[in-house]
Structure 1
Amino acid sequence: MYYNPFHYPVYPPIPAYYTYTVNPSYPRSYPPVDTKIFVKSVKSFRLLMEQGSILLDRLSDPGFDYKIMSAAQQGKHSEVDAMIKSIGLKVPVITKFTPSGINFILTTQADQTHPMSCCTLSVAMKWGL
């Protein structure tokens, strides 16, 4: 055996492998599957998709898109919101814009049976660099 100045013996010697115990897995119990809320969410999201399609159709109008981009560029939030409301969508829309793009957030409306909205559709589009 040769002399190694960088070797420092460790006492007690560390084994080449570590032993450990694995906690045994116990079978988990899950609640029964109830799809009522999920089915309502799917139906609500279909409405959001339809409303999003109406929004996109209106945004593809050359006169409308120029007006909305011009108002946004000038920072006229209330005018942009009024233009979006003039489309006549059945769901609330939150509009956010920057110099490089615009975001529309469509949400379902809460009702008496569900006080919170279930679904959100976000549409993000780029209109500048």
Structure 2
Amino acid sequence: MYYYHYPYPPYPQPPAYPGYYLYPPVTRQYPQVDVNIFTKSIKSYRLLMDQGSILLDRLGDEDFDVKLMTFAQQGNKTEVDKLIKTIGLKVPVETKYTPTGITFELTAHPDPSSPMSCCTLSVHMRWGN
């Protein structure tokens, strides 16, 4: 058995992209950047962070947690949603839960006329084994 002890192949390898060396790279003109949408998203995300803080403060109440986990364990999604709505958040919240944890998705719509959300804050928390 022969061992080839050089770190490079014995024969020259063809280039991966044969025409790459024949043509110069194409330079593209990109449009001027517009930061208006990004700025609105940042402002909306600040609102989401504030609302997330309110949610976490309410979840710190042990009586609230017992009710929430009891309804979730029973699979009663409507009661879980009602309980979350009692917090009084200004943004829509979607709740998903499993036996091991719960996820809250808070979404913001910076422009009321636009149905698309600009940003989403997901809060994942573990509550079981």
Same fold (TM over 0.5): yes
Larger radius of gyration: 1
- Secondary structure of 2:112's counterpart equals coil
Letter in 2 for 1:116: M
State the Cα distance separating 1:21 from its structure 2 match: 3.7
State the Cα distance separating 1:78 from its structure 2 match: 0.7
Letter in 2 for 1:119: C
Post-superposition Cα deviations, 1:61-103, rounded to whole Å, max 9, x if no partner, equal: 1111111011101111111100000000000000010000000
State the Cα distance separating 1:116 from its structure 2 match: 1.1
Q: Give the gaps of 5 or more residues in structure 2.
A: 1-9
Aligned to 2:96: 96
Aligned to 2:52: 52
Post-superposition Cα deviations, 1:43-62, rounded to whole Å, max 9, x if no partner, equal: 00100010000000000111
Once residues 67 and 115 of structure 2 are traced to their aligned partners in structure 1, the CA distance between those partners, rounded to angstroms, is: 36
State the Cα distance separating 1:35 from its structure 2 match: 0.3
TM-align CA RMSD: 1.7
Please say if 1:78 is aligned against 2:78: yes
Letter in 2 for 1:61: D
Aligned to 1:16: 11
- Secondary structure of 1:107's counterpart equals strand
Count of aligned positions: 115
Once residues 61 and 29 of structure 1 are traced to their aligned partners in structure 2, the CA distance between those partners, rounded to angstroms, is: 55
Letter in 1 for 2:112: D
Percent identity of the aligned residues? 60
Letter in 1 for 2:53: S
Once residues 88 and 115 of structure 2 are traced to their aligned partners in structure 1, the CA distance between those partners, rounded to angstroms, is: 24
State the Cα distance separating 1:115 from its structure 2 match: 3.0
Query: Normalization by structure 1: what TM-score?
Result: 0.83
- Secondary structure of 1:31's counterpart equals coil
Alignment of 1:26-65 (within 5 A): 26-65=26-65
